[in-house]
């Protein structure tokens, strides 16, 4: 059996942002040697890596040569050169999650087609090769306002997604391959993290509830467990498991879901990696999502996904109107609040809505945690000095 712990075994992580950084903490706990690749010399994950390389994640040679030196390769971001990962896999390296899954997920049209093919519930949609085709379809009454426009590639954190309510909104859309998706009147946006290892062992984390910032289309609060009926939670975990198994996924899969007005569960989209909706798990879960991802990609037994306590997670994003050297105004004040743990990602420069950190509030009384989260949000500001 491979010995990962305090050995010469090497794990490569493509991408060195905050997800990579938090994953790296866990590799330290296991004392696993790591290689990290990121375009930024100030990547948050740089410090805890045994070896750091600055390079373009979309460049075939860079990713291929970087991965070649490792035993297992994983990634913390979807925007990576898939061909290089495929080549590494073909040459016998373990690449988890699988490059073919990443390829499907990178293209939102292919992702939706996959759900349809696998009988996974998702909102109705139509694919278009260019903007003109979408307009023709509207004229022909094949689709109608309002709908959600999504660029099939390159979308991230609300970019590449637009709600289109009227004719003029069409002017904001880029002329790229896209989908038009039915707008779902939903009660809640939920997420379930599923973990699966190569042996096929699979577990789900509890359902979380996401509250979005109305303007930035970024998650503002993540509440665990979601305040929903047990039957709905059960259905959500079942649907998420189905998605993971359809992909024969290895590693974490974060499945974002809609709970419709009539309590249907629809898959919105997935991320094949640790996810913002699972940050609560560092404080809340018996095994946090980062350790869990590590266990999965190393084919170790999976850890417990249950929670030790209720949690609410607050994203810390750059305040509008500020750009430059970051300053966490009143962070001392939030440290005095009950059950608060801050996670500062280590980006020196803030800009509007940039993810700069998050704060977890742990409390056995979830409504108390939610109230403290509100206070955190109202107190701390990510600005410049």
What are the residues binding its own copies (CB under 8 A)? 1, 3, 5-6, 21, 25, 28-31, 47-50, 283, 286-287, 291, 295, 300-301, 303-304, 308-309, 326-328, 331-332, 335-336, 338-348, 362, 364, 385
Shorter beta-carbon distance to its own copies: residue 29 or 130: 29
Rounded to the nearest whole angstrom, what is the least distance from the CB of residue 77 to its own copies in the complex?
A: 19
Shorter beta-carbon distance to its own copies: residue 304 or 320: 304
Please check if 188 is assigned to a binding site.
no
3-state secondary structure the chain: CCCCCCCCCEEEEECCCHHHHHHHHHHHHHCCEEEEEECCCCCCCCCCCCEEEECCCCCHHHHHHHHHCCCEEEECCCCCCHHHHHHHHHCCCEECCCHHHHHHHHCHHHHHHHHHHCCCCECCEEEECCHHHHHHHHHCCCCCCCEEEEECCCCECCECEEEECCHHHHHHCCCCCEEEEECCCEEEEEEEEEEECCCCCEEECCCEEEEECCCCCCEEEEEECCCCCHHHHHHHHHHHHHHHHHCCCCEEEEEEEEEECCCCEEEEEEECCCCHHHCCHHHHECCCHHHHHHHHHCCCCCCCCCECCEEEEEEEEECCCCCEEEEEECHHHHHCCCCEEEEECCCCEECCCCEEEEEEEEECCHHHHHHHHHHHHHHCEEEEC
Please check if 183 is assigned to a binding site.
yes
Please check if 108 is assigned to a binding site.
yes
Shorter beta-carbon distance to its own copies: residue 80 or 331: 331
Please check if 189 is assigned to a binding site.
yes
Please check if 118 is assigned to a binding site.
no
Rounded to the nearest whole angstrom, what is the least distance from the CB of residue 356 to its own copies in the complex?
A: 8
Please check if 380 is assigned to a binding site.
no
Shorter beta-carbon distance to its own copies: residue 248 or 335: 335
Shorter beta-carbon distance to its own copies: residue 44 or 97: 44
Rounded to the nearest whole angstrom, what is the least distance from the CB of residue 82 to its own copies in the complex?
A: 30
Q: Which residues are part of a known binding site?
A: 108, 150, 181-184, 189, 268-269
Q: Which residues are part of a known binding site for ATP?
A: 108, 150, 181-184, 189, 268-269
């Amino acid at each position: 059996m491979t010995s990962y712990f305090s050995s010469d075994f090497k794990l490569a992580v493509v991408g060195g942002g905050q997800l990579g950084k938090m994953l790296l903490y866990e590799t330290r706990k296991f004392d696993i040697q790591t290689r990290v690749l990121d375009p930024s010399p100030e990547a948050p994950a740089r410090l805890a890596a045994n070896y750091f390389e600055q390079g373009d994640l979309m460049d075939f040679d860079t990713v291929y040569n970087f991965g070649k030196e490792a035993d297992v390769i994983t990634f913390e971001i979807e925007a990576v050169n898939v061909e290089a990962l495929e080549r590494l896999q073909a040459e016998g390296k373990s690449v988890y999650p699988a490059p073919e899954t990443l390829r499907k997920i990178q293209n939102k049209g292919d992702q939706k087609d996959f759900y349809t093919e696998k009988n996974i519930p998702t909102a109705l949609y139509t694919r278009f090769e260019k903007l003109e085709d979408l307009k023709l379809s509207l004229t022909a009454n094949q689709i109608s306002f309002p709908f959600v426009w999504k660029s099939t590639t390159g979308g991230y954190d609300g970019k590449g997604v637009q709600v289109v309510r009227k004719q003029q909104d069409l002017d904001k859309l880029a002329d790229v391959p896209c989908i038009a998706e039915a707008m779902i009147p939903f009660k809640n946006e939920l997420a379930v993290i599923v973990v699966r290892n190569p042996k096929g062992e699979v577990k789900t984390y509890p359902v979380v509830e996401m509250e979005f910032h109305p303007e930035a289309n970024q998650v503002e609060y993540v509440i665990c467990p979601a305040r929903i009926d047990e039957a709905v939670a059960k259905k959500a975990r079942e649907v998420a498991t189905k998605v993971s198994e359809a992909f024969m996924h290895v590693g974490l899969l974060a499945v974002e879901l809609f709970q419709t007005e009539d309590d249907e569960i629809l898959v919105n989209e997935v991320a094949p990696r640790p996810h913002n909706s699972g940050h609560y798990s560092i404080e809340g879960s018996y095994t946090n999502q980062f350790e869990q991802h590590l266990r999965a990609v190393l084919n170790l037994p999976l850890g417990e996904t249950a929670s030790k306590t209720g949690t609410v997670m607050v994203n810390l994003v750059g305040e509008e109107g500020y750009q430059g050297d970051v300053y966490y105004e009143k962070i001392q004040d939030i440290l005095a609040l009950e059950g608060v743990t801050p996670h500062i990602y280590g980006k020196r420069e803030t800009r509007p809505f940039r993810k700069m950190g998050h704060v977890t509030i742990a409390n056995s009384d979830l409504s108390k945690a939610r109230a403290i989260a509100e206070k955190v949000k109202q107190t701390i500001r990510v600005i410049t000095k």
